[in-house]
Amino acid sequence: MKPSSRKSQKPIAISLGVSENSPWDLEMAELGFSVREYDGSIANSPYPTHPNITFHKKFIASYDSDSTITLESVLRDNRLVSTQENILQVDIENAEWDMLKNIDMKILAQYFTQVIFEFHGCNPEEEQGFHHRITQLQRLNDFFTPIHLHFNNHGKIFYSKGLFFSTTLEVSYCNHKIMRNLKTNEKREKGVLQDLDYPSWISNPEIPIRFAQKQSLKL
């Protein structure tokens, strides 16, 4: 690919984990992103005729095969341009932890300005699993700053010391390089954010965010 054509390339939104209704993918495509969907559990994209959406029937795994692909291969195959504002969305039902374990975080930071995860199995009672997960979160925090947290209200819910907690967390991150350039003060909101937070399961009440104490962001 010639340098001039790479410079004019659309930003890419990688969507790992697709369902029969994936509004995030559609919204990103409508915004002009080139959306690349990956999921082995469905036959086709929920938006098969959209010109900005390409679907791949493959699961994300730690090896490449006819039905699986690694995140590293996804990045290589899609020829991302590091100067574009690419975004990664991950909702792969607990497979995200091994995916993170097997990827160099510097590569994610090189190609993505934002990464969005639905983290599964975040149960602090499971000591062995907890340490595995917290290790990957710490590695991710070395290059990205969490900018938004939402509790998924469809699944296992905890109540402890007056606070509710979900084992499934929806977290949006921004690249440290972007955060440094913003030059804005930390703004911490609690509860349910209007026009930003929406229930994962419409018939269940939202779980409000509460912070025990204020902590400074370290970039």
Cα torsion angle, 17, 72, 31, 117, sign: positive
Is residue 207 included in any domain, yes or no? no
Residue with tokens 């969305």: 89
Model-level pTM greater than 0.75? Answer: yes
| Range(s) of the domain holding residue 155 | 9-182
Cα torsion angle, 28, 153, 208, 160, sign: negative
**Residue 169's CATH number:** 3.40.50
Is residue 58 included in any domain, yes or no? yes
The predicted structure's pLDDT at residue 141 = 95
Strand partners, 175: 144
What is the spatial distance between Cα 189 and Cα 211, in angstroms, rounded to a whole number?
Answer: 9
Q: How many domains does the chain have?
A: 1
Is residue 109 included in any domain, yes or no? yes
Is residue 14 included in any domain, yes or no? yes
Nearest to 104 by CA among 134, 77, 70: 70
Greatest CA separation found in the chain?
59
Is residue 160 included in any domain, yes or no? yes
What is the spatial distance between Cα 135 and Cα 127, in angstroms, rounded to a whole number?
Answer: 12
The predicted structure's pLDDT at residue 200 = 76
Q: Does residue 71 contact residue 99 with C-beta atoms inside 8 Å?
A: yes
Is residue 209 included in any domain, yes or no? no
What is the spatial distance between Cα 68 and Cα 19, in angstroms, rounded to a whole number?
Answer: 17
Is residue 215 included in any domain, yes or no? no
DSSP-H helix ranges across 8-126? 23-30, 71-77, 96-101, 105-111
Query: Quick one: tokens of 42?
Result: 């469905």
* pLDDT < 70 positions in the chain: 1-8, 183-193, 195, 199, 211-219
Q: pLDDT tens, 43-93?
A: 999 999 999 999 999 999 999 999 999 999 999 999 999 999 999 999 999
Angle at 72 between CA 70 and CA 73, to 5 degrees: 70
Is residue 198 included in any domain, yes or no? no
Query: Quick one: tokens of 94?
Result: 């607990």
The predicted structure's pLDDT at residue 77 = 96
